[in-house]
């Protein structure tokens, strides 16, 4: 899998997102569920997930939290960060989810659609001392179970197209559309031209059609 950014930046990205969650919840007193809602609604989550250097390596967690809240609510967070002597549950949540997003290539929207803040707090209890690969394995199983439809089918349904209409508009054969959605044909091996044609009709990026 081609990941959004190199592994050399991963630890810094994990620390930044961990600090963002910790600062938002424990210093600014934003509930974890509310911060997830604000984060996924912001452009920050997409830019972070896409590996933009300013977010994975350029900004601190506090700056990320400030950007999220300012963009989504118009409010400026001005709380002094508290001195921490240990990593909080909220830090681990941001840290672990950052790893899984990098590992899986899924969007933060998808991850938080399946894993709520309460779910993640429960996972912390048993997994915070385990290797991060264990969290990734469990999270991946939950997301695969939830998202049984292909990305193509979800996007097509979201935009209200029938298979036949998508085929007509994109110029990709109806049979191919059907086979991609039924996983009888691997869309990851489709030509760039095919992906571009479908993505143009659906108003998404080519990589949004790729199965993780």
pLDDT of residue 106: 86
- Could you tell me if 172 and 87 lie in one domain? no
Q: What is the pLDDT along the chain (212 residues), one digit of tens a residue?
A: 568 899 999 999 999 999 999 999 999 999 999 999 999 999 999 999 999 999 999 999 999 999 999 999 999 998 988 777 689 999 999 999 999 999 988 889 989 999 999 999 999 999 999 999 999 999 999 998 888 888 899 899 888 899 999 999 999 999 999 999 888 889 999 999 999 999 999 999 898 898 87
Q: CA neighbours within 13 Å on the CB side: how many for 59?
A: 21
CA 44 to each of CA 17, 75, 92: distance values in angstroms, whole numbers, following the listed order: 11, 16, 19
SS3 187: helix
Residue 193's domain comprises: 151-209
- Could you tell me if 133 and 172 lie in one domain? no
Collect contacts of 77-80 with beta carbons under 8 A, ≥24 apart.
77/23, 77/24, 77/28, 79/23, 79/27, 79/28, 80/27
Residue that finishes a domain, picked among 146, 169, 200: 146
Within-domain flag for 2: no
| pTM attached to this predicted model | 0.76
Within-domain flag for 36: yes
Residue that finishes a domain, picked among 129, 146, 163: 146
Report CA Rg, the chain.
19
Within-domain flag for 22: yes
- Could you tell me if 71 and 128 lie in one domain? yes
């Amino acid at each position: 899998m081609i990941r959004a950014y190199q592994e050399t930046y991963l630890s810094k990205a994990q620390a930044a997102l961990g600090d963002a969650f910790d600062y938002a919840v424990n210093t600014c007193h934003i509930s974890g569920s509310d911060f997830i809602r604000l984060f996924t609604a912001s452009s920050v989550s997409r830019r972070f997930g896409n590996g933009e250097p300013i977010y994975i390596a350029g900004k601190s967690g506090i700056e990320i939290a400030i950007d999220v809240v300012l963009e989504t609510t118009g409010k400026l967070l001005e709380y002094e960060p508290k001195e921490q002597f240990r990593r909080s549950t909220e830090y681990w949540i941001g840290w672990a989810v950052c790893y899984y997003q990098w590992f899986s290539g899924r969007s933060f929207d998808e991850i938080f659609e399946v894993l709520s803040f309460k779910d993640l707090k429960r996972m912390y209890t048993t997994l915070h001392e385990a290797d991060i690969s264990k969290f990734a394995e469990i999270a991946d199983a939950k997301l695969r179970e939830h998202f049984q439809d292909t990305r193509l089918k979800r996007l097509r349904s979201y935009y209200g197209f029938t298979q036949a209409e998508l085929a007509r508009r994109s110029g990709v054969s109806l049979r191919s559309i059907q086979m991609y959605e039924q996983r009888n044909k691997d869309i990851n091996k489709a030509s760039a031209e095919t992906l571009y044609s479908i993505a143009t009709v659906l108003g998404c990026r080519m990589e949004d059609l790729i199965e993780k």
